[in-house]
Structures are given as C-alpha cells and as structure tokens.
Structure 1
Amino acid sequence: MSEEFTAATVTALRHRLQAAVSAAGLVGDEGYDFVLAVHELVTNAVRHGGGHGHLQLRRQDDVLICQIRDHGAAAAGLPVRLSAVDVAGGRGLWLAHQLTAGLTLARGLHGVTATVTACVSLVGSPPMVEGAKHDEPKRCVEDSQE
C-alpha cells in the first residue's frame, strides 16, 4: 500500500489501512492498535507536517512496516513522551510508540519520516530465535511468560 494523503482523505485512508493490515495477517487487538498508531502519525503529519504526506505499508517476512512521511519543517525536537494531563493533545508519538513493536523518527531536509513496525506470525513457520544460523532470517518472537 502506498498512498498520498491530506486532511480530506485521512478517514478513507484509515479504512483502507485497516483492510490492508488485516490482509497482511495482523488482526484482533494487535491490528487495531497498529492502525490506531498509524492514524496518530498520519494526523500528526497533517497537523504539523505541511498538511499532507505519504503512507507506505509493506510486509517483510513477519514484520509489518509502515512509513509516514510529511513535508513540513522539522521541529527542533520530536518528543516521544506523555503530555501532562492538563494539556490537550501532544500524545500521538507516545501512543504510536506504545502501540507498536517499534517507532523510529527520522528528520530530513523535506520533513519527518515516522516508521512503525509490528510482528505478524508466519502461518506454519515457527518463530526463529536469537542464535539461529546466520544465513537464516530472524523472525519476530513473542515474549513468553513462564
């Protein structure tokens, strides 16, 4: 999935994103959380990144990767922290970080790129762990509680 977006297309983009995330195998609460995190990043791009941006969603092995690029002037700081309870807004990056397997922010000449990831189980393939043969790809491993 690769799409440009504006404020007028955010809702339709979220619906297409939900369908694509489900089709990629990320369903249930994990799928909902991932879509919510991406939605927060998309709305941040609209509000703070020039009013429009580009979303790219892809699956690489068992990792779902979504990049959101905006075209605004990059701020001096990109805080990934929880705002005070008496402050309206300011929680989008924190939510994206909390709801996904990882959040990366990169500031460039033409704006900011936010990348979030989520682990998707490969049907019929056991997850690979650290110490696997070096020529085999590493897979997402869920935390186990014993």
Structure 2
Amino acid sequence: MSQEFTAATVTALRHALHACVTAVGLTGDVGYDFVLAVHELVTNAVRHGGGQGRLDLRRQDDVLICEITDEGAAGGSLPVRLPAVDIAGGRGLWLAHQLTEGLILTRRLSGVTATVTVCLEPVDNGDASAPPASRHDEHHRGAEDAQD
C-alpha cells in the first residue's frame, strides 16, 4: 500500500490500512494496536508536518513495515515520552512506540519519516508455560506505571 494523505483523507486511509493489515493476517489486539500507532503518526504528520504526507506499507519476510513521511519543518525536538497528565496532546509518538515492535524517526532536510514495524509471526519468548502477554496489556501497564 502506498498512498498520499491530507486531513480530509485520514479516516479513509485508516480504513484502507486496517483492510491491508487484516489481509496479511494481523488481527486482534496486535492488528488494532498497529493501525492505531500508524494513525497517530499520520495525524502527527497532518498537524505538525505540513498538513499532508505519504504512507508506505510493505511486508518484508514476516515483518510489516510502515513509513509515514511528511514535508513539514523538521526543526525542534521529537519527544518520544509520555507528557504530564495535565498536558493535552503530545502522546502520538509515545503511543506509536508502545504499540509496535519498533519506532524509528528520521529527520530529513524537509520533514520527518516515522517508521514502525510489527512481526506477523508470534515471537517465541522461550517460556512455553507462560501465556503470551498482549501488547495491549503491556500498553496499559506502561500507562499505569507512568501515572505512578
């Protein structure tokens, strides 16, 4: 999937992304988390990156890779931290980092590229007796820890 987007097309893009992610077998909480993470990056590109961008989704072996590129001003910091609870907004990069296997931010001369990945195959954690924790559960634990 490769598609340009603006504020007017964010919702349609999210639906198209969900369909692509589901088609490759990424379903349940992991699929929902990945779509939410990408949606956060897309809305960041619209808000902070010039009002538009490009989403490129591809599969490489058992990894789904999504790049969101904008052409906005690349100045300032790119905080990937949870802001104080009394501050509105500012959680998009943190959420994308928490909800995916990895987040890479690349600052370019004109804009930023955010890349997120997710494994399509379950990762063997080495302990067959322990039930696998969902990333959704980890996200909620991380949010609770951040509030303490």
- The TM-score normalised by the length of structure 2 is 0.83
> Structure 1 regions of 5+ residues with no counterpart?
122-139
Query: Superposed, which structure 2 residues align to 1:1-146 within 5 Å?
Result: 1-121=1-121, 141-145=123-127, 146=129
User: What SS is found at the alignment partner of 2:94?
Assistant: helix
Q: How far is the alpha carbon of 1:144 from its aligned partner?
A: 4.0
User: What SS is found at the alignment partner of 1:12?
Assistant: helix
> Structure 2 regions of 5+ residues with no counterpart?
130-148
Tell me the number of residue pairs that the alignment of Structure 1 and Structure 2 aligns: 128
Taking a change above 3 Å as real, the CA distance of residues 142 and 91 of structure 1, as seen in their structure-2 partners, is farther
Q: How far is the alpha carbon of 1:76 from its aligned partner?
A: 2.2
User: Which 4+ stretches in 1 moved above 4 angstroms?
Assistant: none
- Indicate the percent of aligned positions where both proteins have the same amino acid: 74
- The TM-score normalised by the length of structure 1 is 0.85
Task: String of CA shifts for 1:62-92, please: whole Å, max 9, x gaps.
Answer: 0000000001001321110001000000000
Q: How far is the alpha carbon of 1:142 from its aligned partner?
A: 3.7
Taking a change above 3 Å as real, the CA distance of residues 112 and 142 of structure 1, as seen in their structure-2 partners, is farther
Counterpart Cα distance in 2 of 1:62 and 1:75: 35
Counterpart Cα distance in 2 of 1:54 and 1:38: 12
